[in-house]
């Protein structure tokens, strides 16, 4: 694996290999915060054109745990704010010896362009491109689900019913999961108000929950990605689509996921976020393991060759 | 000069005699001409109602000269230059300058299109009357690249131009439906995560403008129709007798939205590429007369404007050098149409819409503006040969037929694959 751009590119075998590698790392990490020498001498750049403290920190920590040299590059205050374009930025970083670029960008396809336009020979890890993909998020969701369902290593999510709820249209998390989870054998339904989820066959979350999903993945309402409000009001959204306490009780056996950061009281209630079925914190923890697994797979394989 | 044994669009074989730049005689075919055309089909030189020559202002992408060269190599003898230059062609001075640059290049007739609104801002009318009465006598007006979305302003422009014989060419795009839009709304926006561009944004304006053309009596030319429903609306308007004509680009005839799946910005274009169902409807409309002309929307962009992430890249693709080949593919090679229809959509109808008396017809007393076609010379596209820009969407495609020569005002502007000048 040279790049990780999209979960579309992952076969079932490859996806399970990443999950297994991450759960192994997770177990090794259980008690100590030990460092692995895997990426010694490698330079990894986190190239963030959009602010995302959580994802950047997770990647940075993952690379550091693997002993890579890490450079953090964000667009504010850099040459980018002086008008430098993506191609020139990538070439500059490559000239400085970057082995991998972890890229967050507001334009869908930006990672694809970096990997395939001949602008750089560094490996590209997509850390979120526009409304398109965020593959490590879907992988960590899958790992959290596998743990939550107590499914062992080497297996997928066969037959599990997953309900993704919210702004499907603007969500790279939804898009990534919509391709990865079915690859792993799960049945996925994406629901939300019509302006968020065109073609949705349910009028509200209560109807959707009647299908008794094994897990409910709540998406963040991303107001920053809308040109104009796509819902009448926050209040109306939470009334029809929010995961309220009452709705959690409607599906007492369903696991609950949220990619964070959460809009508490909007798409998810505190009761849901903190319930015993909530995987929110294990998602964060698994993020680190997944990113370590992905980075070692992409950069480590060159060492072995 | 005698061009002997020419096959005309209707299949007749004739000699064409040219004196002082004009066709002086059309005679029975012989074998003793100055140029033996026995293997060539001779059509009236092509006329493009929709070209971006980029000069003045964007000479890094194209100039009137390089655009004229690209046009001549594609069989064109006249091109209409869109107004979105810098300064905008919204006044008599700028349109006259563009026409003069065209005459200086001397390869095709360059006819300026005037902006409908000042600075293409869509707020107040440009000096329509002054451009119309300028030395270059502008006939077609367009804010192309922008839609005149204000319905009242559009109606006023049409009321003003109707008695003057002006034509309004509209870039149909309801702006509130396309904020940030990148690709057709549908499968491709789902695959790529790029913001969708609903065809209803185009169709709603086509319908509105058709109604305004009926009410004002002003001739409306709908630029670059892209969707099946758009074709149906135009068919309806024509059945009602509304004064409407319509155009399709070469790229919307043969390329679909799926070209965008790898974020190759050559395929980023406004309006966007649509579905296969749409291309099929566009070809049908072109064959049955619903769509009147092929207009290239030749939109050259310097490489730095295209070597960007998709959202930041410029909209547009070149077309002058391959438009004929696309027309041949959809009309002749497919068996859907014939050479007469090809000559109509590439030459005679755009000449009539644009008011060009010396183009569009092979007739005694008219300028010798001709395109010579080799129907069997297949060519693989490697890129643009004459345009200054390389955003060519056909690279790698093979076409079945080529332009062999082009003649402008009795002189070869393009001969055996070379632009003369």
Buried b (16+ CB within 10 A) or exposed e, B216-239: bebbbbbbbbbbbbbbebbbebbe
Please tell me the distance in Å from A198's CA to the nearest CA on chain B: 11
- Partners of B302 on chain A (C-beta within 8 Å) are none
Q: Which of B193, B304, B307 sits opposite A130 (nearest CB)?
A: B193
Q: How far apart are CA A96 and CA A79, in angstroms?
A: 15
CATH code for residues B45-356+379-398:
3.20.20.140
What are the beta bridge partners of residue B380? B398
**What values do phi and psi take at B412, rounded to 5?**
-70, 125
User: How many Å apart are CA B211 and CA B237, to the nearest integer?
Assistant: 8
- B-contacting residues in A 173-192 (Cβ below 8 Å): 175
| B193, B262, B307 ranked by CB distance to A172: nearest | B193
Query: In angstroms, what separates the C-alpha of A91 from chain B's closest C-alpha?
Result: 13
Q: B-chain residues within 8 Å CB-CB of A110?
A: 309-310
Torsion (CA) B183, B184, B189, B192 in degrees, nearest 10? -40
Distance from CA of B168 to the nearest CA of A (A): 31
Residues of chain B with pLDDT under 50: none
Per residue in A88-107, pLDDT (tens digit) is 999 999 898 999 999 999 99
A274-299 per-position pLDDT tens digit: 999 999 999 999 999 999 999 999 99
- Break chain B into its structural domains and give their ranges: 45-356+379-398
* Torsion on CA atoms B209, B215, B221, B225, rounded to nearest 10: 30
Taking only residues 63 to 92 of chain A, the set having a beta carbon closer than 8 angstroms to any beta carbon of chain B reads: 85-87
Q: pLDDT tens digits for B77-125?
A: 999 999 999 999 999 999 999 999 999 999 999 999 999 999 999 999 9
Interface-testing mutation among A89, A108, A115, with chain B (most B C-beta atoms within 10 A): A108
pLDDT band at A51 (very low <50, low <70, confident <90, very high): confident
Measured distance CA(B45)–CA(B78) in Å, rounded: 8
**SS3 state of residue B364:** coil
Which residues of chain A are within 8 Å of residue B182 when distances are taken between CB atoms?
Answer: 108
Nearest to B35 by CA among B21, B18, B11: B18
Give pLDDT, residue A31.
62
pLDDT at A305: 35
pLDDT tens digits for range B273-295: 999 999 999 999 999 999 999 99
Interface pTM, i.e. ipTM: 0.87
Per-residue pLDDT, A32: 62
pLDDT of residue A304: 41
On whether any CB of chain B is under 8 Å from the CB of A107, the answer is yes
Q: Which chain A residues are Cβ-neighbours of B193 within 8 angstroms?
A: 108-109, 129-133, 172, 175
Task: Catalogue all structural domains in chain A, each as residue range(s) with its CATH number.
Answer: 7-134+285-304 (3.40.50.1370), 135-283 (3.40.50.1370)
**Min Cα–Cα distance to chain A from B193, Å:** 4
- Quick check: is B90 catalytic? no
Question: 3-state DSSP call for residue B384?
Answer: coil
Residue A81: per-residue pLDDT: 64
pLDDT, average across residues A181-203? 94
């Amino acid at each position: 694996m040279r790049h990780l751009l999209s979960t579309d590119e992952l076969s079932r075998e490859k996806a399970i290999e990443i999950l297994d590698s991450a759960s192994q790392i997770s177990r090794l990490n259980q008690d100590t915060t030990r460092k692995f020498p895997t990426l010694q001498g490698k330079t990894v750049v986190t190239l963030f054109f959009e602010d995302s403290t959580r994802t950047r920190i997770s990647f940075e920590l993952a690379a550091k745990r693997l002993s890579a040299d890490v450079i953090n590059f964000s667009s504010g205050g850099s040459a980018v704010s002086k008008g430098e374009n993506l191609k020139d930025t990538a070439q500059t970083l490559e000239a400085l010896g970057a082995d991998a670029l972890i890229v967050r960008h507001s334009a869908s396809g930006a990672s694809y362009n970096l990997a395939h336009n001949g602008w750089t020979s560094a490996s590209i890890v997509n850390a979120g491109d526009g409304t398109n993909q965020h593959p490590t998020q879907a992988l960590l969701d899958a790992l959290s689900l596998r743990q939550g369902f107590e499914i062992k290593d080497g297996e997928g999510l066969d037959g599990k019913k997953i309900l993704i709820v919210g702004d499907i249209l603007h969500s790279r998390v939804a898009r990534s999961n919509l391709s990865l989870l079915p690859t792993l054998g799960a049945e996925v339904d994406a629901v939300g108000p019509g302006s968020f989820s065109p073609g949705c066959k349910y009028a509200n979350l209560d109807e959707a929950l009647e299908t008794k999903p094994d897990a409910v993945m709540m998406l963040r309402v991303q107001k920053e990605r809308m040109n104009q409000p796509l819902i009448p009001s926050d209040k109306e959204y939470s009334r029809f689509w929010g995961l309220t306490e009452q709705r959690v009780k409607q599906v007492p056996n369903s696991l609950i996921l949220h990619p964070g950061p959460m809009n508490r009281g909007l798409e998810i209630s505190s009761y849901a976020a903190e319930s015993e079925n909530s995987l929110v914190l294990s998602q964060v923890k698994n993020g680190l393991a997944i990113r370590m697994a992905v980075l070692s797979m992409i950069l480590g394989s060159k060492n072995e060759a | 000069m005698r061009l002997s044994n020419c096959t005309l669009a209707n299949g007749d074989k004739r000699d064409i005699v040219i004196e002082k730049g004009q066709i002086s005689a059309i005679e029975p075919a012989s074998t003793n001409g100055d140029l033996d055309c026995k293997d060539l089909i001779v059509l009236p030189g092509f006329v493009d109602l929709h070209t971006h020559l980029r000069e003045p202002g964007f000479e890094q992408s194209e100039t009137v000269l390089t655009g004229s060269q690209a046009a001549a190599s594609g069989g064109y003898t006249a091109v209409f230059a869109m107004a979105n230059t810098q300064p905008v062609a919204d006044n008599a001075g700028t349109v006259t300058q563009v026409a003069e640059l065209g005459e200086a290049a001397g390869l095709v007739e360059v006819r300026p299109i005037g902006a409908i609104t000042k600075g293409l801002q869509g707020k107040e009318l440009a000096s329509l009357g002054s451009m119309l009465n300028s030395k270059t006598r502008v006939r077609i007006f367009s804010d192309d690249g922008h839609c005149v979305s204000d319905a009242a302003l559009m109606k006023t422009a049409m009321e003003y131009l109707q008695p003057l014989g002006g034509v309004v060419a509209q870039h149909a795009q309801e702006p509130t439906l396309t904020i940030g839009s990148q690709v057709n709304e549908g499968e491709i926006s789902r695959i790529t995560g790029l913001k969708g561009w609903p065809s209803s944004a185009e169709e709603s304006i086509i319908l509105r403008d058709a109604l305004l053309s009926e009410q004002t009596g002003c001739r409306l030319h709908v630029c670059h129709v892209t969707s099946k429903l758009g074709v149906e609306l135009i068919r309806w308007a024509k059945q009602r007798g509304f004064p409407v004509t319509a155009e399709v680009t070469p790229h919307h005839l043969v390329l679909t939205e799926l070209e965008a799946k790898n974020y190759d910005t050559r395929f980023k274009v406004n309006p966007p590429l649509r579905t296969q169902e749409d291309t099929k409807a566009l070809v049908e409309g072109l064959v049955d007369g619903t769509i009147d002309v092929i207009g290239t929307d030749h939109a050259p962009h310097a490489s730095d404007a295209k070597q960007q992430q998709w959202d930041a890249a410029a909209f547009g693709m070149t077309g002058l050098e391959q438009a004929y080949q696309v027309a041949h593919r959809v009309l002749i090679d497919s068996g859907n149409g014939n050479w007469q229809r090809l000559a109509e959509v590439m030459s005679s109808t755009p000449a009539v819409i644009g008011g060009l008396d010396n183009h569009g017809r092979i007739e005694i007393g008219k300028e010798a503006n001709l395109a010579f076609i080799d129907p069997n010379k297949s060519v693989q596209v490697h890129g643009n040969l004459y345009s200054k820009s390389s955003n060519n969407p056909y690279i790698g495609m093979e076409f079945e037929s080529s332009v062999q020569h082009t003649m402008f005002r009795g002189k070869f502007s393009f001969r055996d694959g070379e632009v003369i000048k």
